[in-house]
Structure 1
């Protein structure tokens, strides 16, 4: 019988045994939207490593629900993949901006809708391997169409889809946007 035991690890409150500790950081790229950092870190075993990541200001994503249960979607060309994608309205949080105020602004600007009822669903982290981006997810209801206010150089197609059309778009590979898929999953059971 083997009487050797694994050493017991005692964690301090709020300490995670997998934590990597920043030793030094360097910003290696400063773009209009994205900032790229290279950090030297202490690994859980005490050795050192390098971590590169994109710093992002955060964003909101809005599931806008019409009275008949259809959801507002947009089609937008996404340059990195060189094609248009089907997605829910979303946008970047400005410095110091309240997340619900951002969601209200983005819904209005992109789709032309304002909502009387807002529900915060939660937060997602879409690219944890290489970015600190967070996306705050909202459901917007009691919509009124007031006209869009697109940013300079922003081109969108606005459409509404039923649950069956959304499921068909997922099944066919037409809807592959991670924030949209995650937000819809997060909102299951909360939609009409």
Structure 2
């Protein structure tokens, strides 16, 4: 196994500018000089880095709650866990409970951060906090979805069948599933 150098020097950002923008995104070009003198240009999505949450809601010890919603990127309906941005002034756990109510019609009395993942760190400065929610009770808040989301109950014991589905493909959901199973085994 090769050694990782914790003191590796970050490249110097010599210039940055916004090169494209849309209603939702800004693309930033970075001019970089690496410690060995090499110079490169990189592009990345620029953003407010508010963070996001993904919730693995547990209806009981063996039943997860998933949602099925339209995914514009693939122009399909995808099955996955509730998720959303953290609003200004919210903690990750507050955002998780709000998103759970908006998307799945449940609130949780017991919330645990189980991991934080980055989303395509080569292109984004964005993190998603994975939250396990237990002791659920019916509670809805109005969300910003254009249509009602389908709520699907799924047994944890049937995780392999979930992974085999053509509509459960989002990498963050797959990671959340494995992280939740690990957390549940340990607790």
Fold shared, TM-score > 0.5 on shorter chain: yes
Once residues 124 and 44 of structure 2 are traced to their aligned partners in structure 1, the CA distance between those partners, rounded to angstroms, is 5
Shift in Å, 1:128: 1.9
Q: Is structure 2 residue 33 aligned with structure 1 residue 42?
A: yes
Q: Which has the larger share of strand?
A: 2
Q: Which of 92, 99, 107 matches 1:114?
A: 107
Once residues 181 and 145 of structure 2 are traced to their aligned partners in structure 1, the CA distance between those partners, rounded to angstroms, is 34
Once residues 41 and 146 of structure 1 are traced to their aligned partners in structure 2, the CA distance between those partners, rounded to angstroms, is 49
Shift in Å, 1:154: 4.6
1:22-42 Cα offsets, whole Å, 9 max, x none, are 122112234343221111111
Of 40-49 and 132-141, deviating more is 40-49
- Assess, with a 3 A threshold, how the Cα gap between structure 1 residues 95 and 148 changes in structure 2: closer, same or farther: closer
Q: Does the residue aligned with 2:67 lie in a helix, a strand or coil? A: strand
Q: Does the residue aligned with 1:16 lie in a helix, a strand or coil? A: coil
Of 65-74 and 134-143, deviating more is 65-74
Q: State the match for 2:73 in structure 1.
A: 80
Equivalent positions of 1:21-40 (< 5 A) are 21-40=12-31
Once residues 79 and 94 of structure 1 are traced to their aligned partners in structure 2, the CA distance between those partners, rounded to angstroms, is 22
Q: What stretches of structure 2 of length at least 5 have no aligned partner? A: none
**Cα contact 1:64–1:140 (8 A) shared by 2:** yes
Q: Is structure 2 residue 84 aligned with structure 1 residue 91?
A: yes
Q: State the match for 2:146 in structure 1.
A: 153
In the superposition, the TM-score normalised over structure 1's length comes to 0.84
Equivalent positions of 1:51-62 (< 5 A) are 51-56=42-47, 57=49, 58-62=51-55
Q: Does the residue aligned with 1:170 lie in a helix, a strand or coil? A: helix
Once residues 32 and 116 of structure 1 are traced to their aligned partners in structure 2, the CA distance between those partners, rounded to angstroms, is 36
Q: What stretches of structure 1 of length at least 5 have no aligned partner? A: 1-10
- Assess, with a 3 A threshold, how the Cα gap between structure 1 residues 40 and 154 changes in structure 2: closer, same or farther: farther
- Assess, with a 3 A threshold, how the Cα gap between structure 1 residues 40 and 177 changes in structure 2: closer, same or farther: same
Once residues 46 and 178 of structure 2 are traced to their aligned partners in structure 1, the CA distance between those partners, rounded to angstroms, is 26
Shift in Å, 1:127: 1.3
- State the number of aligned residues: 179
Q: State the match for 1:5 in structure 2.
A: none
1:126-163 Cα offsets, whole Å, 9 max, x none, are 21222112101100000001235232525421111112
